[in-house]
Amino acid sequence: MLFCACRAADLLNAFVGLWLVPKYVGMQELGAVMPLLQFAGFLSLPATVFAMTFMKELTSLAAHGEYGKMKSLMRGVFVGAGVLLVVALAVSRLLLPAFLERIRIVEGSLGFLVVASAFIGAVSPVYQNALQALKRFKTISVLNVVGAPVRFLAMVATMPFRALSGYFVGQAATPAFNIAASVWALRRELSVPAEPYWTRPVVRRFSAVLLGFAAYHYFGGMLGLAEQTVLRQRLPDVDSAAYYMATRFSDIAGFFHMTLATVLFPFTAALAAEGKPTRPLVVKSSLAMLAVGAALALVFAFAGGPLLALLPDGDRYAAFSWAIPCLILISVVGSVQSFHFNTETSAGRFGFLKWFIPLHIILAAGLMCITGYGYFTAWLPESWCRFLAVHNFTSLKAMIFWFAATTLVKTAICLWELMRQGGGAVNSTATRR
């Protein structure tokens, strides 16, 4: 039921991404959509980390019927996110103008909308997670079905006036609706009096988990922001716009991934809390994603070009149809990482950060040095500068090669960690109430 509901919503979301957005956002700005989303997500990371830290505890509270504490927790997350939003808006006022200049965008009114949409999106999963914990999958299905038209209508109403601003209004519309609808769906559980939750022991107990989530999301977000900025900054407008269009097709694999992840999270968290192995669920989910991704890549290897040609300005992007199956395969291979990391964090296991942090620092620094070598020409040998000028990230092929190489390296490490876990129960260091 949840799968069918998500797919119905995804059809409308696919229409928005493939037709509505390129219809109103010109090719010169279309390639800036992904970097803007990444920048907004990076600024909203404090709220994301704060919310995700308590999602596992929310699952436990809901499962045990402790609705008074659950109510206090959800209130605290919402208030905390509001405070962090004010801070992020102040930071964006300083940083966003320079970032917009680097990605060749002149619409200065984007600041508030970009950050606000990211923060609302960061808080929304907390409320839906309560529905997950209560196994209210029918309600989640309804939210998915209705949320997509809400986003579509918001974009249709605003994009004709200011395309990029209207896009981010639409991005904020669905999570805002989900928050309101989730609170309404939980009205019976939340009608009980609030019980004390935010005590000193609670704060101490979750401090380590908060730091773990922060490290995971910040260093991952740092690399993602560097990659999307380089892609927009170094590539011609048509290449960066073609990348956006190709990702609309490759995101179809992401739709399947999100459905699996939504269902997987409460089960892996429960297994970890009981000290049972989580590897079988991760492996089965990963194999399912790889099968779906291989089928989709095969279909779009032949159908990608004709489909791109049917879209607004599609004749300019049809030559880049080869990127669609490549990005689909990169996405599904990367989903193995996502399942592994989400399972580990839901279990309170952060041992993977020992390699995750240094690897992401090295990759982000290496990418910025390779693409920004012009800052160091005074100190680099002339032969090195000539080599970097010729072999650099100035085409979509080069960037996709980078994405593929880094994804394979990280996935290989995740698989090695999974194999080390073995088939028996894993001693969970998950935080307990």
pLDDT of residue 122: 78
231 burial (CB, 10 Å; 0-12 / 13-18 / 19+) is buried
pLDDT of residue 8: 61
pLDDT of residue 104: 80
pLDDT of residue 424: 44
CA angle 134, 289, 22 (to 5 degrees): 95
| CA separation, residue 180 to residues 144, 246, 403 (Å) | 13, 33, 37
Q: What is the CA radius of gyration of the chain?
A: 22
Residue with tokens 């880094």: 406
CA angle 411, 417, 420 (to 5 degrees): 145
Distance (Å, whole) CA 350 – CA 2: 30
Contact 256, 292 (CB under 8 A): yes
Distance (Å, whole) CA 320 – CA 249: 12
Summarised one tens digit per residue, pLDDT across range 9-32 is 667 777 888 888 888 888 888 888
3-state class (DSSP) for residue 372: coil
3-state secondary structure 190-253: HCCCCCCCCCHHHHHHHHHHHHHHHHHHHHHHHHHHHHHHHHHHHCCHHHHHHHHHHHHHHHHH
Mean pLDDT of successive 10-residue segments in the chain (433 residues)?
58 81 86 87 80 71 77 78 78 81 72 79 76 74 84 91 87 89 81 77 75 86 90 88 91 81 72 76 88 93 90 87 95 90 81 93 89 74 78 82 94 90 48 38
Each domain of the chain, given as residue ranges in start order, spans 1-196, 199-423
Residue with tokens 């974009």: 155
pLDDT of residue 109: 60
78 burial (CB, 10 Å; 0-12 / 13-18 / 19+) is middle
Give me the count of residues in the chain: 433
Distance (Å, whole) CA 308 – CA 22: 11
Distance (Å, whole) CA 167 – CA 110: 10
The model's pTM is 0.80
Among left, alpha and beta (phi > 0; psi -120 to 50; other), residue 65 is: left
pLDDT of residue 1: 55
**Which one-letter amino acid corresponds to residue 37?**
L
Distance (Å, whole) CA 371 – CA 383: 16
Distance (Å, whole) CA 127 – CA 138: 15
Distance of CA 360 to the CA centre of its chain: 16
Phi and psi at residue 377, in whole multiples of 5°?
-60, -30
Distance (Å, whole) CA 82 – CA 228: 27
3-state class (DSSP) for residue 35: helix
Contact 349, 430 (CB under 8 A): yes
15 is written with which tokens? 């229409």
Provide the 10 A C-beta neighbour count for residue 310.
11
pLDDT of residue 410: 95
Among left, alpha and beta (phi > 0; psi -120 to 50; other), residue 428 is: beta
| CA separation, residue 328 to residues 7, 82, 241, 312, 332 (Å) | 17, 36, 17, 22, 6
For the chain, the straight-line distance linking the first and the last C-alpha, in angstroms and rounded, comes to 32
pLDDT of residue 426: 44
